[in-house]
């Protein structure tokens, strides 16, 4: 037993959205232990001032290191990653991975016509994080791409109340996605970890010519590579599955019920955070 490799991966989001990233990490790295915190008591992060989101992110990430001895942190929230990733990376003693750069690289790789779009919360879009990440990724991967970035206020609230289809959310999507439909893009990044739960609605509104990109799988690959390069990956040879713990700062019963529907059977109970 090697204590270092057995330490969990820590992950946080404002609520259920980061479970899309947790799913991808569990599927790609089934032997890894995982601790997830959904800050449902303080969601949504999107409309809050960047300084508030930054201090929530520092509190959550510090707790993951101090209270759970995590070996690596995934900021499974675009809003928090957009405003706090660099600060977390310099503050903490463990590697910190965000969702913005992996998503931007996946987006740029996908386009054929060099016109792409990202949707995210008001905070993410206002931060300009995607303009930078897409510009960097396009330098690395292809020629210059044109980015249309649009905030989708209200999407997160639909997901958090488990209303992922129906007339109301479709009407909102038609309204919010109109500028992207006009921009003639061929790839759209779901730049909020809640949005993959709205893929059916977003896909229907955008039409089959636009590929929807989700940052979860790309982020899981970055986590795998970071663990491998730090030699902190847990062995897969024994076939032993990792343990998965879920915490919420809000109603833990509701978090377990809805979270299980979103994530799957690994989420059977949720515990209270802070412990
Ligand atoms: N899931 C989050 C994100 O990726 C935050 C959503 C919110 O709380 O507004 O941005």
Boundary residue ending a domain (199, 215, 231):
215
Q: Cβ(97)–Cβ(70) under 8 Å? A: no
CA 94 to centroid of ligand 1, rounded, Å: 23
Q: State the helix-helix crossing angle for 167-176 and 199-206, rounded to 10 degrees.
A: 50
Residue ranges making up the domain that contains 177:
101-215
CA-to-CA distance for 211 and 203, rounded, in angstroms?
Answer: 8
Closest by Cα among 72, 40, 71, 34 to 56: 40
Instruction: Spot the catalytic one: 77, 147, 172, 185.
Output: 77
Closest by Cα among 75, 89, 90 to 215: 75
Q: Cβ(87)–Cβ(128) under 8 Å? A: no
Residue 78 Cβ < 6 Å to ligand 1: yes
**139 catalytic residue (yes or no):** no
CA 231 to centroid of ligand 1, rounded, Å: 31
What was the pLDDT predicted at 237?
Answer: 79
| Residue labelled with tokens 């995982």 | 34
Q: How many helices (H) and strands (E) does the chain have?
A: 13, 10
What was the pLDDT predicted at 142?
Answer: 64
CATH code: domain of residue 83: 3.40.50.1860
Please check whether residues 226 and 207 belong to one and the same domain: no
CA 2 to centroid of ligand 1, rounded, Å: 35
Relative to the CA of 47, which ligand 1 atom is closest? Answer: 9
| Residue labelled with tokens 């609605």 | 201
Q: What is the CA radius of gyration of the chain?
A: 18
Q: Tens digit of pLDDT per residue, the chain (275 long)?
A: 468 899 999 999 999 999 999 999 999 999 999 999 999 999 999 999 999 999 999 999 999 999 999 999 999 999 999 999 999 999 999 999 999 999 999 999 999 999 999 999 999 999 999 999 999 999 887 678 999 999 999 999 999 999 999 999 999 999 999 999 999 999 999 999 999 999 999 999 999 999 999 999 999 999 999 999 999 999 887 788 999 999 999 999 999 999 999 999 999 999 999 99
Please check whether residues 109 and 152 belong to one and the same domain: yes
For strands 115-120 and 187-190, give the pairing.
parallel
State the pTM of this model: 0.97
What was the pLDDT predicted at 139?
Answer: 87
**192 catalytic residue (yes or no):** yes
- As for how many domains the chain has, the answer is 2
Residue 77 Cβ < 6 Å to ligand 1: yes
Boundary residue ending a domain (215, 244, 262):
215
């Amino acid at each position: 037993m090697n204590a270092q490799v057995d330490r969990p991966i820590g992950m946080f989001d404002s609520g259920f959205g980061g479970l899309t990233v947790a799913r991808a990490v569990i599927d790609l790295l089934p032997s890894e232990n995982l601790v997830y915190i959904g800050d449902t008591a303080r969601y949504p992060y999107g409309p809050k001032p960047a300084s508030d989101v930054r201090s929530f992110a520092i509190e959550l990430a510090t707790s993951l290191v101090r209270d759970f001895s995590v070996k690596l942190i995934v900021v499974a929230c675009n809003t928090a990653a957009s405003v706090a990733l660099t600060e977390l990376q310099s503050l903490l003693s463990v590697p910190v991975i965000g969702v913005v750069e992996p998503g931007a690289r996946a987006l740029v790789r996908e386009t054929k016509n060099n016109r792409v779009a990202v949707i995210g919360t008001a905070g993410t879009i206002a931060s300009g994080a995607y303009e930078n990440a897409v510009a960097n990724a396009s330098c690395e991967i292809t020629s210059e791409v044109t980015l249309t970035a649009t905030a989708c206020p209200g999407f997160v609230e639909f997901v958090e109340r488990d209303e992922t289809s129906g007339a109301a959310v479709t009407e909102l999507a038609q309204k919010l996605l109109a500028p992207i439909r006009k921009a003639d893009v061929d790839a759209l990044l779901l730049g909020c970890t809640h949005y993959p739960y709205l893929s059916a609605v977003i896909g229907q509104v955008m039409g089959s010519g636009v590929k929807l990109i989700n940052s979860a799988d790309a982020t899981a690959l970055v986590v795998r590579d970071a663990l491998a390069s730090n030699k902190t990956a847990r062995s897969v040879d024994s076939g032993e599955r990792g343990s998965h713990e879920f915490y919420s700062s809000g109603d833990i019963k509701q978090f377990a019920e809805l979270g299980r529907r979103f994530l799957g059977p690994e989420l059977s109970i949720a515990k209270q955070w802070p412990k």
